[in-house]
């Protein structure tokens, strides 16, 4: 049964009961109708940025002319670019610190930990909204927060007090039943979801978890699941906020932040799947996609040369305690290297106080700092043709820093089992063989709370006096022109399906330091796909890119739009887009077009000369393939606001000119 009622002057369609997603969206809706597929805008309570996307986000924020952030809370984290091989990353950190001081932003210093883990511990609030310039922002769904990953510009706009514009998602329910068996854990649940739904399965949807088994999962477990929900292409993932959430927040000294949020009994979901936890086995995502999932036992015995434990997916107190218990009194297999990066200073301190860190060191683990590290190719690249087993969330080809290495994504239990045996191993068999008793890790009554590595905002009067520190690595933002009435040029590149933003704009220790310098970083666009791309694009003054399905999945990095734009890319024509990348293309004035008839993908080749009529963007658009003498109909999912931005050459120019005129 449906009825309509007004919220903020807008008519909202309501089903009888509401699910968690609908409740939070309804509370934050400022524009549009809560109907899947409609364009809506929501109020953003909190924002987060990290250093690899943050420099660009704050350069953009500066152009908006706002004196202080207008959110309830904004945090700037330094966790990605912590390998300082020259001045660049260190310069970026100082820029970020001075920006935070000037604009009333919390600053989480390098060493304090990975943004998503720290945010969960210290800042996330159930029922609120969070926009983060990192695709794993949905981690906070583990405590019932509606947390969405976006490009830096969208986060900058939210800091300036503007709502976040998005497509109202469908809600897909994952009902969890039964009980996990020993040595099977939360990571295996999300790997099973990925196996069933694929890396495209969450596009346009929020994944909402429910069912009797939810109460058996700790906040750390839930956060592992919502974190890796990013790999489904989902808008976000969310759990209810219940007594487990309350106990977690209390143990973090933040009991007052707790509110209960549960789905109404008679609520409805657009789609649903059921997972029986008692039937789950330890799972593994094989190279080179997070949905290439099989049971670990299928790969039993495969020789492993590296094991890496950490990342925002699996580096909590719970995860590292499990690993320490398995390693206790044993030695890491001589055929591999074991790397461990704790998720936050809090986790690091607690495992060092209780001896678990010493246990890992004794077993031969190489302990890294509390940061993203190997997950984003910042050191610890595997050997040639290496087999690296990781507790991370992404295994895209080349992301580890070694092009021909194979990355296998697993739970901490499986990772520790592999570290002991030197081969892919089911932790149940290893535990049995070595006589390790299953023992659940209980939540500490009180976590070690010390926010001394967070610099809190100062008074507006003091902030005013702060000078922004701009080292030579901070290059000014390029200007982009309004969209002309027609676009012409050649097809610079034609790609297949599931192209990631790591393919478009690679990261890693060599390239990440250039994140605040668009002219410099643009030299690496599509480096792993086609090394000649940047020079070809510049030689012919830009052109078009043709792609397959799910183009731009993965990281939220807006550099995957700004840098191609800088090289002259005018439009990207694909079978389908990933959400964040499409928004980033619009923000920087690259036309995101979709084949109306998917088979037309075969009618365009690299090198063909195209002409696109852009005089009218409302409705279908005609692409003339001058080389082949054919006409192709393409479409798009831009709403009226997007079209206005696109015509102005992108959102930044539009927003900055609005700010200047007001
Ligand atoms: C990632 O996991 O790919 C990153 C690095 O955290 C990115 C952000 C970035 O590219 O800086 C993400 O997930 O959005
Ligand atoms: Fe950092 Fe990896 Fe998490 Fe991205 S996925 S935020 S690089 S730990």
pLDDT at 260 over 50: yes
The answer to the question of residue 623 being in a domain is yes
CB count, 10 Å around CB of 606? 16
Q: What is the pTM of this model?
A: 0.96
Do 443 and 248 touch, CB atoms closer than 8 A? yes
The answer to the question of residue 455 being in a domain is no
The helix/strand/coil state of 623 is: strand
Q: What is the pLDDT of residue 657?
A: 73
Q: What is the pLDDT of residue 654?
A: 82
pLDDT at 2 over 70: no
Question: Is residue 372 within 6 Å of ligand 2 at its C-beta?
Answer: yes
Distance CA 375, CA 394 (A): 8
Question: Is residue 136 within 6 Å of ligand 1 at its C-beta?
Answer: yes
- Which DSSP helix (H) or strand (E) runs through 657? helix 651-661
> Looking at the structure, do residues 169 and 301 belong to the same domain, yes or no?
no
> Looking at the structure, do residues 274 and 327 belong to the same domain, yes or no?
no
Indicate the residue among 404, 434, 464 that finishes a domain: 434
Give the distance (Å) from ligand 1 centre to CA of residue 117. Answer: 14
The answer to the question of residue 473 being in a domain is no
The answer to the question of residue 561 being in a domain is yes
Dihedral of alpha carbons 343, 348, 351, 356, sign:
positive
Give the distance (Å) from ligand 2 centre to CA of residue 199. Answer: 17
> Looking at the structure, do residues 298 and 398 belong to the same domain, yes or no?
yes
DSSP assigned state of 112: S
> Looking at the structure, do residues 290 and 141 belong to the same domain, yes or no?
no
Question: Is residue 376 within 6 Å of ligand 1 at its C-beta?
Answer: yes
**CB contact set of 615 (below 8 Å; sequence gap of 6+):** 485, 486
CB count, 10 Å around CB of 319? 30
CB count, 10 Å around CB of 639? 17
> Looking at the structure, do residues 318 and 269 belong to the same domain, yes or no?
no
Do 143 and 224 touch, CB atoms closer than 8 A? no
| Per-residue pLDDT tens over the stretch 426-437 | 999 999 999 999
Query: Residue 560 belongs to a domain with what CATH number?
Result: 3.20.19.10
| Per-residue pLDDT tens over the stretch 628-647 | 999 999 999 999 999 999 99
> Looking at the structure, do residues 117 and 258 belong to the same domain, yes or no?
yes
Catalytic residue among 45, 79, 221, 426: 79
Do 513 and 86 touch, CB atoms closer than 8 A? yes
Distance CA 413, CA 220 (A): 14
Cis peptide upstream of residue 12 (ω within 30 degrees of 0)? no
Share of the chain above pLDDT 90, in %: 94
Helix, strand, coil distribution of the chain in percent, nearest 5 = 35, 20, 45
Residue 158 is part of which domain span? 20-278
Q: Are strands 609-613 and 29-31 parallel, antiparallel or unpaired?
A: unpaired
> End-to-end distance of the chain based on CA atoms, in angstroms?
45
- Report the atom number in ligand 1 closest to the C-alpha of 50: 11
Distance CA 551, CA 593 (A): 11
Dihedral of alpha carbons 495, 498, 501, 506, sign:
negative
| Per-residue pLDDT tens over the stretch 402-412 | 999 999 999 99
pLDDT at 1 over 50: no
Helix ranges, 600-647 (H): 640-647
Residue 80 annotated among the catalytic residues of the structure: yes
pLDDT class for 12, splitting at 50, 70, 90? low
What would the mean pLDDT of 70-81 be, rounded to a whole number? 98
The answer to the question of residue 661 being in a domain is no
The answer to the question of residue 468 being in a domain is no
Do 519 and 566 touch, CB atoms closer than 8 A? yes
Indicate the residue among 405, 434, 463 that finishes a domain: 434
pLDDT at 399 over 60: yes
| Per-residue pLDDT tens over the stretch 87-128 | 999 999 999 999 999 999 999 999 999 999 999 999 999 999
The answer to the question of residue 12 being in a domain is no
Q: What is the pLDDT of residue 7?
A: 52
> Looking at the structure, do residues 336 and 273 belong to the same domain, yes or no?
no
The helix/strand/coil state of 212 is: helix
Do 450 and 456 touch, CB atoms closer than 8 A? no
> Looking at the structure, do residues 107 and 247 belong to the same domain, yes or no?
yes
Dihedral of alpha carbons 119, 121, 122, 123, sign:
positive
Do 34 and 46 touch, CB atoms closer than 8 A? no
Structurally, the chain folds into a number of domains equal to 3
Ligand found nearest the CA of 521: 1
- β-bridge partners, 387: 406
Distance CA 577, CA 555 (A): 13
The answer to the question of residue 465 being in a domain is no
Question: Is residue 136 within 6 Å of ligand 2 at its C-beta?
Answer: yes
Helix ranges, 123-164 (H): 152-159
Question: Is residue 100 within 6 Å of ligand 1 at its C-beta?
Answer: no
> Looking at the structure, do residues 243 and 368 belong to the same domain, yes or no?
no
Q: Helices 356-363 & 317-327, crossing angle to 10 degrees?
A: 50
| Per-residue pLDDT tens over the stretch 597-614 | 999 999 999 999 999 999
What would the mean pLDDT of 570-593 be, rounded to a whole number? 97
> Looking at the structure, do residues 340 and 401 belong to the same domain, yes or no?
yes
**CB contact set of 205 (below 8 Å; sequence gap of 6+):** 169, 170, 171, 172, 234, 235, 270, 271
Question: Is residue 309 within 6 Å of ligand 2 at its C-beta?
Answer: no
Q: What is the pLDDT of residue 13?
A: 55
Residue with tokens 């330094």: 78
- Report the atom number in ligand 1 closest to the C-alpha of 512: 11
| Per-residue pLDDT tens over the stretch 438-483 | 888 878 999 999 999 999 999 999 999 999 999 998 998 888 889 9
pLDDT at 4 over 70: no
pLDDT class for 662, splitting at 50, 70, 90? low
> Looking at the structure, do residues 206 and 306 belong to the same domain, yes or no?
no
pLDDT class for 3, splitting at 50, 70, 90? very low
> Looking at the structure, do residues 223 and 74 belong to the same domain, yes or no?
yes
- Report the atom number in ligand 1 closest to the C-alpha of 133: 14
Phi and psi of 79, rounded to 5°? -150, -20
Indicate the residue among 392, 413, 434 that finishes a domain: 434
Q: Which two tokens stand for residue 310?
A: 């950490």
| Per-residue pLDDT tens over the stretch 175-192 | 999 999 999 999 999 999
Query: Residue 252 belongs to a domain with what CATH number?
Result: 3.30.499.10
Closest of 457, 239, 227 to residue 343, by C-alpha: 227
Give the distance (Å) from ligand 2 centre to CA of residue 555. Answer: 9
Residue 557 annotated among the catalytic residues of the structure: yes
Q: Edge-to-edge strand order for the sheet containing 205-210? A: 236-238, 205-210, 170-177, 271-276
| Per-residue pLDDT tens over the stretch 42-59 | 999 999 999 999 999 999
| Per-residue pLDDT tens over the stretch 117-150 | 999 999 999 999 999 999 999 999 999 999 999 9
């Amino acid at each position: 049964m449906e009825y309509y009622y007004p919220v903020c002057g807008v008519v909202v369609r309501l089903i009888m009961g509401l699910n968690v997603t609908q409740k939070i969206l309804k509370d934050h809706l400022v524009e549009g109708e809560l109907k899947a597929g409609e364009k809506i805008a929501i109020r953003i309570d909190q924002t987060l940025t990290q250093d690899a996307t943050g420099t660009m986000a704050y350069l953009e924020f500066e152009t908006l002319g706002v004196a202080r952030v207008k959110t309830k809370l904004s945090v700037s984290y330094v966790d990605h670019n912590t390998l300082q091989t020259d001045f660049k990353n260190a310069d970026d950190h100082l820029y970020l610190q001075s920006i935070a001081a000037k604009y009333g932003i919390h600053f989480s210093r390098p060493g304090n930990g990975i943004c998503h883990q720290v945010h969960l511990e210290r800042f996330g609030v159930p029922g609120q909204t969070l926009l983060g310039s990192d695709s794993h922002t949905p981690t906070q769904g583990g405590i019932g927060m509606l947390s969405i990953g976006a490009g830096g510009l969208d986060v900058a706009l939210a800091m300036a007090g503007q709502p976040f514009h998005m497509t109202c998602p469908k809600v897909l329910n994952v009902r969890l039943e039964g009980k996990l068996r020993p040595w099977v854990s939360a990571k295996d649940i999300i790997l099973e979801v990925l196996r069933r739904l694929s890396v495209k399965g969450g596009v346009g949807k929020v994944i909402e978890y429910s069912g009797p088994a939810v109460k058996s999962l700790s906040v750390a477990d839930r956060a592992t699941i919502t974190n890796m929900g990013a790999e489904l292409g989902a808008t976000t993932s969310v759990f209810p906020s219940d007594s487990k959430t309350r106990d977690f927040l209390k143990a973090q000294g933040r009991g007052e932040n707790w509110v209960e949020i549960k789905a109404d009994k008679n609520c409805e979901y657009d789609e649903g799947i059921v997972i029986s936890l008692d039937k789950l086995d330890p799972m593994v995502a094989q190279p080179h996609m997070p949905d290439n999932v099989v049971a670990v036992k299928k790969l039993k015995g495969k020789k492993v040369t590296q094991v890496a434990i950490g990342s925002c997916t699996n580096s909590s107190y719970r995860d590292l305690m499990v690993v320490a218990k398995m390693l206790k009194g044993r030695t890491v297999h001589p055929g591999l290297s074991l790397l461990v990066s704790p998720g936050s200073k809090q986790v690091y301190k607690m495992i060092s106080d209780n001896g678990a860190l010493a246990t890992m060191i004794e077993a031969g683990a190489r302990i890294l700092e509390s940061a993203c590290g190997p997950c984003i190719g910042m050191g610890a690249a595997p050997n040639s043709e290496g087999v690296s087993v990781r507790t991370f969330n992404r295994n895209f080809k080349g992301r580890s820093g070694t092009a021909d290495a194979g990355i296998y994504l697993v739970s901490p239990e499986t990772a520790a089992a592999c570290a002991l045996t030197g081969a892919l191993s089911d932790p149940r068999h290893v535990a049995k063989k070595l006589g390790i008793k299953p023992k659940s890790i209980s939540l500490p009554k009180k976590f070690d709370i010390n926010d001394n590595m967070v610099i809190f905002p100062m008074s507006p009067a003091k902030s005013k006096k702060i000078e922004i520190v701009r080292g030579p690595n901070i290059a000014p933002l390029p200007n982009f022109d309004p969209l002309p009435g027609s676009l012409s040029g050649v097809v610079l590149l034609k790609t297949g399906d599931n192209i990631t933003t790591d393919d478009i704009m690679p990261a890693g220790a060599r390239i990440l330091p250039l994140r605040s310098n668009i002219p410099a970083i643009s030299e690496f666009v599509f480096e792993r796909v086609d090394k000649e791309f940047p020079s070809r694009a510049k030689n012919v003054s830009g052109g078009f890119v043709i792609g397959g399905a799910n183009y731009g999945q993965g990281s939220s990095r807006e550099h995957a739009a700004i840098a191609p734009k800088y090289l002259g890319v005018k439009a990207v024509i694909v079978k389908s887009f990933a959400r964040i990348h499409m928004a980033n293309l619009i923000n920087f004035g690259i036309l995101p077009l979709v084949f109306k008839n998917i088979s037309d993908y075969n009618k365009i080749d690299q090198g063909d000369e195209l002409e696109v009529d852009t005089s009218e963007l409302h409705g279908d658009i005609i692409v003339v393939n001058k080389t082949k003498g054919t006409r192709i109909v393409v479409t798009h999912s831009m709403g009226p606001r997007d079209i206005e931005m696109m015509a102005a050459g992108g959102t930044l120019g539009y927003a900055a000119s609005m700010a200047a005129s007001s």
